[in-house]
């Protein structure tokens, strides 16, 4: 018998209430002013989000740092927390009591806004003024700050974005956030970083030349927009948030 449409949904535990065991693939990290360093160094950074393509992230490759955010836990194949650096740059007003419990318990260095620096013994202050002095300021999501810090540090050779397919996200994500990430991604490519994306990524990519490859470009866009509608429909049917969904923006 099919499950009733009115059956209660399973209760999703908050990240603060999970038994979080660190993955052995994590780096040994330490805080050095506005930076989080790895010992030995890792010059590849994987930015991990909650969206399409996150399952392709190199979570079990020890050459990579993994940067997590908010309430989105990257998990290795054994369900262990695979994160070297955490980010939650939302001010205290955006946090629930459970969110604050997680921030306090987060077992790795975590970038926090100024009004939350007393919330974690592992808090790191983002060097906003220095980054803006060098690159200007265009901040519509956490991913933008992350990419900008990679550029500011200057030691990273490879940058991966997994689960950052904002075109298939909320209305905010597919408009202002997608445009902002594409901008910073372009600046990263200009500076010679090797960019790694999921196989079917649309971020900063277009499969055919507009106009010059007329029909191929039209077909490619139709395939993309059909996929977008399918993802949106699945989200509408699912209804409520899961642990991997983002309650206060990225």
Domain ranges of the chain: 15-238
pLDDT at 26 over 80: yes
Residue 146 contacts by C-beta under 8 Å, 6 or more apart in sequence? 45, 47, 67, 69, 87
With tokens 């509408």, the residue in question is: 236
Question: Is 43 in contact with 155 (CB distance < 8 Å)?
Answer: yes
pLDDT at 239 over 70: no
pTM: 0.86
Average of per-residue pLDDT values in the chain? 88
> Which region, left, alpha or beta, applies to residue 79 given φ > 0 means left and ψ of -120 to 50 means alpha?
left
**What is residue 86's three-state secondary structure?**
strand
| Average pLDDT, integer, range 197-215 | 85
pLDDT at 246 over 50: no
Helix or strand holding residue 186 (H, E): helix 178-190
Per-residue model confidence as pLDDT tens digits over 152-201: 999 999 999 999 999 888 889 988 999 999 999 999 999 999 999 998 88
Encoded tokens for 212: 């010059």
The reported pLDDT for the residue numbered 203 is: 85
Smallest Cα–Cα separation from 89: which of 135, 143, 20, 160?
Answer: 143
User: Measured between alpha carbons, how far is 37 from 205 in angstroms, rounded to an integer?
Assistant: 31
If pLDDT is split at 50, 70 and 90, which confidence band does 55 have? Answer: very high
| Average pLDDT, integer, range 47-54 | 94
Smallest Cα–Cα separation from 71: which of 13, 120, 19?
Answer: 13
């Amino acid at each position: 018998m099919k499950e009733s449409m009115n059956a209660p949904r399973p209760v999703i535990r908050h990240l603060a209430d999970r038994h979080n065991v660190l993955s052995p693939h994590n780096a040994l990290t330490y805080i050095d002013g506005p930076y989080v360093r790895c010992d030995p160094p890792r010059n590849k950074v994987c930015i991990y989000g909650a969206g399409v393509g996150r399952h392709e992230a190199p979570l079990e490759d020890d050459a990579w740092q993994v940067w997590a955010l908010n309430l989105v836990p990257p998990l290795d194949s054994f369900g262990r927390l695979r994160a070297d650096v955490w980010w939650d740059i939302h001010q205290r007003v955006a946090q629930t009591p459970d969110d604050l419990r997680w921030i306090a318990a987060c077992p790795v260095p975590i970038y926090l806004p100024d009004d939350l620096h007393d919330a974690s013994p592992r808090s790191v202050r983002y060097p906003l003024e220095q980054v803006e002095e060098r690159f200007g300021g265009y901040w519509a999501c956490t991913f933008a700050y992350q990419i900008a810090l990679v550029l500011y540090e200057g030691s990273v050779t490879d940058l991966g974005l997994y689960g950052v397919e904002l075109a298939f996200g909320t209305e905010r994500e597919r408009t202002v956030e997608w445009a902002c990430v594409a901008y910073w991604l372009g600046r990263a490519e200009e500076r010679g970083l090797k960019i790694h994306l999921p196989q079917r990524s649309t971020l900063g990519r277009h499969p055919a030349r507009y106009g010059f490859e007329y029909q191929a470009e039209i077909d490619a866009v139709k395939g993309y927009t059909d996929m977008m509608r399918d993802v949106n429909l699945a989200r509408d049917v699912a209804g409520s948030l899961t642990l991997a969904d983002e309650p206060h923006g990225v």
